[in-house]
Chain A
């Protein structure tokens, strides 16, 4: 299990190193940067959902907290990007604590309700608190990140940087999963009662993993602000939280690789669909970007019906089924 994880990390690393040699188009590199940011958020969300069994419908809000912390502190107050990112992380963890304490001390899916409301509130604040957040017009002029003196101002540089962050995030998440604490979290998912009677402080663990997942989202948000240099409330609405949740569910929430797969597939899907739309137009059908939502919904529905364990587990079971079919067919041939 563990060896497989590290092999996966190695493969991912190789792919990342060589990808910019294959894809030289800045636009596609940009899409891959957004993919990396989604991956980062989804790793955190997966720790919360797949390993601790709690659902958050407000992760876009933590993404927003990170982005706006960076935006406001760097563009308006002139802080360094790293300080701003750190402050965003502290704010997000603190807010997660405040939201998590009342809802996670209870059993059941109260966190989903609380975060849904919280996400909506944050989005409204982003639009309405014009003095601080710039309202609908957002924050402009956010400086790029500097990493050991190198300004991350090209897509290739930021591609490498964002995916390195994903790798580090993955490594830390894997550390957590294969640890005493990680086992405690998975135990809570398996049976909260048995975890408690084994000495796991279930409510504190749930609160802490919620804070960890908020930190992942916040870092992704800060990177987003540093990358696009401009933020507005648009991408941080509740639908984005739902999309993040869909990514984790589609990939398979029981493994961290599922979250990565889901985030990658659903981040690249709109690009795929828009290139498909050219094809449809040649057939005389017009494809509207609004149809994306329809397709997301359809994918989620099909996943829940046929591959409820997600793509990664689904692939394994498909492989098992085909191999048994193959063996059966061979037996028939022999006898």
Chain B
């Protein structure tokens, strides 16, 4: 039996009277691609924000490798090798593409304030290693030739790739991708799909929120359908496509 890397147990989040996520149960197997689909406003991004510590759950638990991580701060969760991207791309626009990825190396390097102030950049071995590692990840997502540009000047598609490169540079165990294909054209979406499969082959678990059904059905091992903050169905792509509840939620009755 494969190991379970992430488990949501009766997760609940309400903003005052508005219940965004309720009784959410989901298990993610290590090394799989799990997708969450559902209409806009169903609570998918809220779930991501709960897992990565940007929001605190109102009730329920998030178990990551059998330890409860609910309510921890984002940077603490990041240090546990959980990486994420954002629905509205969040690159650091004024930094170069390479520096963006080097920020991803943050949790894999140590030097603190005092060393950073006192030791000039050309004397730092750790920094050189960070740089070569970052270059490696840029090549991996196919942005190696853009490394000296500022991140803000990249196209949206390349900014999404850059976000993924930054996340991968953390050497995560699990990566949460929030609509990586939104705003991309058909060709770019295919490239993105290949990239996600490539990530899974490195033994990194992928959790995906995505609206592009073709992409989701193509690459997912498991799909969870979210509607009104609840998980109404889970299963492999074939099961989901023939599930009457899902069809009802998507097409209306």
**A194-B117 CB under 8 A given contacts A180-B130, A181-B112:** no
Q: Which of B74, B91, B127 contacts A190 (CB 8 A)?
A: B91
- Asked if residues B84 and A190 are in contact (CB atoms below 8 Å), the reply is no
Cβ of B207 under 8 Å from chain A: no
Q: Using CB atoms, name the residue of chain A closest to B114.
A: A181
Q: Using CB atoms, name the residue of chain B closest to A178.
A: B121
- Asked if residues A190 and B113 are in contact (CB atoms below 8 Å), the reply is no
How far apart sit A198 and B92, CA to CA, in the bound complex (Å)?
12
How far apart sit A172 and B107, CA to CA, in the bound complex (Å)?
23
Residues from chain A with Cβ under 8 Å of B151 in the complex: 190
Cβ of B97 under 8 Å from chain A: no
Q: Using CB atoms, name the residue of chain B closest to A5.
A: B121
SS of A interface (majority): helix
How far apart sit A178 and B94, CA to CA, in the bound complex (Å)?
14
Residues from chain B with Cβ under 8 Å of A193 in the complex: 54, 74, 86, 90
Residues 147-190 of A, flagged 1 when their CB comes within 8 A of B and 0 if not, give 00000000000000000000000011011101111111011011
Cβ of A323 under 8 Å from chain B: no
Cβ of A282 under 8 Å from chain B: no
**A199-B116 CB under 8 A given contacts A175-B121, A180-B111, A191-B90:** no
Residues from chain A with Cβ under 8 Å of B75 in the complex: 196-197, 199-202
Residues 84-127 of B, flagged 1 when their CB comes within 8 A of A and 0 if not, give 10100011111100010011111101111101111111101011
Cβ of B205 under 8 Å from chain A: no
Cβ of A2 under 8 Å from chain B: yes
Cβ of A266 under 8 Å from chain B: no
Cβ of B37 under 8 Å from chain A: no
How far apart sit A189 and B92, CA to CA, in the bound complex (Å)?
8
Residues from chain A with Cβ under 8 Å of B12 in the complex: none
How far apart sit A189 and B152, CA to CA, in the bound complex (Å)?
13
Residues 173-214 of B, flagged 1 when their CB comes within 8 A of A and 0 if not, give 000000000000000000000000000000000000000000
13 more CB-based (< 8 A) A-B contacts, given A172-B117, A190-B91, A193-B74: A175-B119, A179-B116, A179-B117, A181-B116, A186-B99, A187-B103, A193-B54, A194-B163, A197-B77, A198-B78, A199-B107, A199-B170, A201-B73
* Sample of 25 A–B contacts (CB below 8 Å): A172-B118, A174-B120, A178-B121, A179-B111, A179-B121, A180-B116, A186-B92, A186-B94, A186-B95, A187-B95, A193-B74, A193-B86, A193-B90, A194-B90, A194-B91, A195-B92, A196-B75, A197-B83, A198-B78, A198-B104, A198-B106, A198-B107, A200-B106, A208-B113, A212-B117
The 9 closest A-B pairs by CB, nearest first: A190-B92, A199-B107, A179-B116, A196-B74, A199-B78, A194-B90, A181-B116, A191-B90, A178-B121
